[in-house]
Amino acid sequence: MASSDTTREPATPDRGGGLLEVEGLGSSYGRRQVVFDVSLRVDAGEVATILGHNGAGKTTTMKTIFGLMKPTQGSVTYGGRDVAKMSVLERVQSGMSFVPAQQFVFGDLSVIDNLLLGAQSESSSEQIAERLDRVHKLFPILAERHRQLAGTMSGGQQRILSIGMALMSGPKLILLDEPSLGLAPVVFQQITEVLRELVVEKGLAVLLLEQNVQQALALADRVYVMRSGRTILEESADQMRARDHWWDLF
Give the model confidence (pLDDT) of 130-184 as tens digits.
999 999 999 999 999 999 999 999 988 999 999 999 999 999 999 999 888 778 8
Between 119 and 250, the more confident residue is 119
pTM of the shown model: 0.87
pLDDT at res. 17 = 62
Do 67 and 186 lie in one domain? The reply is yes
Indicate whether 4 pLDDT > 70: no
CATH of the domain at 193: 3.40.50.300
Do 89 and 113 lie in one domain? The reply is no
Do 74 and 2 lie in one domain? The reply is yes
Do 193 and 237 lie in one domain? The reply is yes
Do 45 and 122 lie in one domain? The reply is no
Give the model confidence (pLDDT) of 223-249 as tens digits.
999 999 999 999 999 999 998 877 777
Q: How much is the average pLDDT of 212-226?
A: 90
Do 58 and 85 lie in one domain? The reply is yes
Do 60 and 110 lie in one domain? The reply is no
Q: Where are the extended beta strands (E) located within the chain?
A: 20-29, 32-42, 47-51, 71-78, 81-82, 96-99, 173-177, 205-210, 222-227, 230-236
Do 229 and 106 lie in one domain? The reply is no
Q: Would you list the DSSP string of 62-107?
A: HHHHHTSS-EEEEEEEETTEE-TT--HHHHHHTTEEEE-SSS-S-T
Do 66 and 142 lie in one domain? The reply is no
Q: Provide the angle, in degrees to the nearest 10, between the axes of the packed helices 125-138 and 185-202.
A: 130
Among 142, 170, 198, the domain-final residue is: 170
Among 118, 153, 170, the domain-final residue is: 170
DSSP-derived 3-state class of residue 198: helix
Do 74 and 127 lie in one domain? The reply is no
Q: What is the CA radius of gyration of the chain?
A: 18
Domain holding 161, by residue range, is 102-170
Q: How many independent structural domains does the chain possess? A: 2
Among 148, 170, 192, the domain-final residue is: 170
Query: Running DSSP on this structure, what letter comes out for residue 153?
Result: S
Is-contact 148 110, C-beta < 8 A? yes
Do 159 and 229 lie in one domain? The reply is no
